[in-house]
A and B are shown apart, each in its own frame.
Chain A
């Protein structure tokens, strides 16, 4: 069976945690959760994972530690964590909004709230997962800066920039990063089956596109087996990112 779009997304998300060593992987959302477990079982075996509540657990669910919110926040401020958050809006410097659409006094849409986005982005590596890449999400200007982007971190001074790092943004179409001189968003790879023009059209700001855009890497046979048979045997990943031709793209 050929690799599905959702599986490329899992691989691209898992790659965010490569080389991180012994830190807490905090995935928000389904595909990042599958991805973190895949990374833990393969190329990043020292990662720590939680059960979604207060226990640190091994890949089979065996508890190995206790991480209530108060200690979780210390993992953040101590930098021993790499989170992958969602974004209702994100701009070209990686400023992220999950709080509201519209103004503060009377928003058109009240969303989650800032949650831990400010503390995350200033203290531990923060990547993003966006299951539907569209101009509604990739905007010129976010309505509220919750997660801090490179331009705002630089403007806020050395204390803000000191531990600020946004390794990657993964979407259903592509992987993006900030490996540009001015730290604006760059197209790092497209998932097989996606064209650069599709990504451009789904992005509401001018994206930096290198001359050669590589494809997101193929999963190994072992990785596919783990995803399909061990980590997500019911195929929940296809509900977050549908296969092309079945509501996907």
Chain B
């Protein structure tokens, strides 16, 4: 069977400018940050990013890599507004396709199921619809048994992705991915909606060890929808990766209050090892 292990740099080397890129996790929770940092070391740009946005979006937007963003929100959770994303939006530098959290999920479902759209009630009456938004409605072919009405719904288009980046707690070398925290978010759908999916994980383990101490339903990702596996310990930092670690709130605060250029200079000028070392050095500075 295929050994899909690769380095973060090898994974992002397969991405190209202009691609539609899905990024898993939710807000500042279990984001594939090591892969995002690797992406920032490439020249890849002009991306359409599809994400329940957190600092992944903030970093890529501040670095000028995003042409268009498809999202329902961008937040750092404990810091409600993502300051770097905010600054970029207020400069008018990126195009935004705003969809509701549920519409977003059904867009991924449609893509994963090779459907052009799925009907949703969400969006009707709101400004996510509009003549220039490309969102159409569809009328049910079935009359409601109680009212006789053939209801109209939003036809949420498939969010098909050229590539997806997600972060798991564990994976094996074949691409079977496991989450051990409380919420899978939508990482399986991101992988299934994508032509290629790159999975970073805290630790690569033997296949036989995956469910030694965890229930079978923690096996979120099947290898048939995974292209590459990257071991990146602390790779979701500074977002949370329960139960391996929580969000690094102090570092997130530093990120939120530091200009992008200064942050990048200090933390993103080297590889992932350099990043993790720089974070450790910063932490030591703050310890009396």
Contact = CB atoms under 8 A, between A and B. Distances in A.
Interface in A82-122: 99-100, 104-119, 121-122
Given A118-B128, A159-B153, A112 B121 contact: no
Given A158-B149, A159-B152, A114 B81 contact: no
Interface stretch (B41-49, B68-76, B266-274): B68-76
Contact of B182 (A53, A163, A164): A53
Contacts of B103: 118-119
A163 B89 CA distance: 34
Interface string B110-122: 0000000000111
Nearest to A113: B73
A175 B74 CA distance: 31
A159 B183 contact: no
Interface of B: 26, 53, 71-75, 80-81, 85-86, 89-92, 95-96, 98-103, 105, 120-128, 147, 149, 151-153, 182-186
Contacts of B183: 53-54, 68-69
Contacts, number: 138
Contact of A122 (B26, B71, B81, B124): B124
A236 B84 CA distance: 29
Given A70-B184, A148-B124, 5 more contacts: A119-B102, A121-B126, A144-B127, A148-B126, A159-B121
Contact of A112 (B81, B90, B96): B81
Contacts of A224: none
Interface string A42-86: 000000000001110000000000101110010011000000000
29 contacts: A68-B182, A76-B102, A77-B102, A77-B122, A104-B96, A105-B92, A106-B91, A107-B90, A111-B81, A113-B71, A113-B72, A113-B74, A114-B98, A116-B72, A116-B101, A118-B124, A118-B126, A119-B100, A119-B102, A122-B123, A145-B126, A146-B128, A147-B126, A152-B126, A153-B125, A157-B124, A157-B152, A158-B147, A160-B125
